[in-house]
A and B are shown apart, each in its own frame.
Chain A
Amino acid sequence: MHIDIDEIAKSFGTTAALHPVSLAIPSGALVALLGPSGSGKTTLLRILGGLEYPTSGRVLFDGQDATGMSVQQRRAGFMFQSYALFRHMTVFENIAYGLRARPRKLRPTKEEIARRVAKLLDLIQLPDIAARYPSQLSGGQRQRVALARALAIEPRMLLLDEPFGALDAKVRRELRHGLREIHDTTGLTTVFVTHDQEEAMELADLVVVMSMGRIEQIGRPQDIRARPATPFVREFITA
Chain B
Amino acid sequence: MSDTTLSRIRFRSATDERLWVKVVLIAIAVFGIVILVFAPLIVVFAEALARGWQAALNALGTRDAQSAIRLTLLIAAISVPLTAVFGIAAAWFITKFDFRGKAFLITLIDLPFSISPVVAGLCFVLAFGANTAVGGWLVAHGFPIVFALPGIVMATMFVTFPFVARELIPVMVEQGRAEEEAALTLGASGWRVFFTVTLPNIRWALLYGVLLCNARAMGEFGAVAVVSGKIRGQTATMPITIEMMYNEYLSVAAFSLAAVLTALALLTLLLKTLLELRFADQLAATRRH
Contacts and interface: CB of A to CB of B under 8 A. Distances in A.
Interface in B237-289: 282, 285-286
Interface residues of B, number: 19
A80 B187 contact: no
Given A87-B286, A98-B187, A51 B181 contact: yes
Interface in A68-113: 71-72, 74-78, 80-82, 84-88, 97-98, 101-102
A101 B181 contact: no
Interface residues of chain B: helix, strand, loop or mixed (majority): helix
Nearest to A74: B185
B32 interface: no
Contact of B184 (A71, A87, A102, A135): A71
Nearest to A12: B98
B188 A72 contact: yes
Contacts of A97: 183, 186, 188, 196
A86 B183 contact: yes
Contacts of A149: 182, 186
Given A86-B179, A88-B200, A135-B285, A78 B185 contact: yes
A98 B183 CA distance: 7
Given A84-B179, A86-B179, A135-B285, A71 B201 contact: no
B133 to A, nearest CB: 43
Interface residues of A, number: 28
Nearest to A159: B185
Interface of A: 49-51, 71-72, 74-78, 80-82, 84-88, 97-98, 101-102, 133, 135, 149-150, 152-153
Contact of B187 (A81, A85, A101, A135): A101
B114 interface: no
Contacts, number: 68
Contacts of A50: 185
A82 B185 contact: no
Interface string B171-192: 0000000110111111111001
B197 interface: yes
Contacts of B282: 88
Contacts of B188: 72, 97-98, 101
A102 B185 contact: no
A86 B187 contact: no
Contacts of A77: 185
A128 B185 CA distance: 26
Contact of B285 (A72, A87, A98, A153): A87
Counting chain A CB atoms within 10 Å of each CB, which of B196, B282, B286 scores highest? B196
Nearest to B181: A51
A101 B183 contact: yes
A133 B200 CA distance: 14
